[in-house]
Amino acid sequence: MRHSWKIGRIFGIDIFVDSSWFLIFILFTWMLGSQYFPQYKGWPAVLYWMMGAFTSLMVFASVLIHELAHSLVAIKHGEKVKNITLFILGGVAQISEEPKEPVEEFVMAVVGPLASFAIGGILFLVSLLLAPLSRPFGAAFFYLAIINVVLAFFNLLPGFPMDGGRVLRSIIWRITGNIQKATRVASLVGQGFAFFFVFIGVLRILSGDLTGVWLIFIAWFLNSAAARSYSQVKAAGILEGVKASDLMTRDFETIPGTISIRALVEDHILKEKERIFLVEGEGRLEGFVCLEDVKRVPRDDWDVTPVRAILTPKEKLDSVSPNAAGNSIMSKMASGNVRLVPVMEGEKLIGIVCHSDILKYIQLRSDLKI
């Protein structure tokens, strides 16, 4: 199971490190300590590994600055940025909603590579200044300058959801006025690049170069991200004009948080055929639990896991009004990583929108070709 840890807060944005980051950190350190720095002869062996670890950290500091550039532009355009997470393939900023205009998308997308180019140029100058004073640090900053320029060019490839793909989408969106069509074209280009990377990766593996495995892994990520991004935009289009009142479930009951998941399933979900329940403890509302929360727990653990362990706490829930737009609710769930949203009329809870409610509505509209 993947986890992430908060390591700080910059400009009001929480910074997290995903568990997968440690794998790439170790890989980068090994590659630099065993291959890059040993080309500089005469250093103590331990220094190669120390500089490898330092340079690896600085690589991800550069990635963080790249993502911060995206985030600050998003904030300037009125978007909310909940956090930035560093993971095995770099970093991702969790922005509340998709850009509302093509120009906004263009600016948000292009600023990341521009930041990487700028970092590369600055670090190159730093490497020139440090080289006469400290060969190890001069070599480290020279490598970092190259990596940032490579990162900038890679992100400018016109394959969605990379920055270049978002630039391409913004241009097509501006020309056609149709974000779904623009996303479809940019996603297909992104999938095309993924297949190209697979081809190059296979050729490298056949020639004995195991870095081809890394290219295939990047291709898999790019292909799945492109397909997922298009699905999200398509779903948002289906939900256009749909309100919370059209999606919400009005019937739910209260259960104690101390009962086991098996008791919840057998005594409530199956008997009463309900999917969403309020959870109470000591006379106060603790949160909500729905069928999707249950499905994420292995069946062998149902007897020993209390409902309280899987609920969504009320503090994490951001309520909406009955007239709230369906696509904004979907974005709220994605950005907040929650599975349900309460619908309030004043101080009164009148319904709940669960993630499964949105999926069922989208599937129904798709089946009817509406």
Q: What is the pLDDT of residue 260?
A: 92
Q: Which pLDDT tens digit goes with each residue over 202-259?
A: 888 888 876 677 778 778 877 777 777 777 777 777 777 788 888 887 777 788 888 8
Buried b (16+ CB within 10 A) or exposed e, 205-216: eeeeeeebeebb
Residue 347 known to be catalytic = no
What mean pLDDT comes out for the span 156-165? 82
What are the distances in angstroms from CA 78 to CA 74, 100, 106?
7, 10, 15
pTM for this one? 0.69
Map residue 78 onto helix, strand or coil: coil
DSSP state letter for 299: G
Position 283 pLDDT exceeds 70: no
Q: pLDDT band for 358, please (50, 70, 90 cuts).
A: confident
User: Whole-angstrom Cα distance, residue 305 to residue 307?
Assistant: 7
DSSP 4-68: EEEEEEETTEEEEEEHHHHHHHHHHHHHIIIIIGGGSTT--HHHHHHHHHHHHHHHHHHHHHHHH
Burial class (CB in 10 A: 0-12, 13-18, 19+), 356: middle
For residue 331, give both structure tokens: 């974005």
Could you tell me how many helices (H) and strands (E) the chain has, helices first?
13, 10
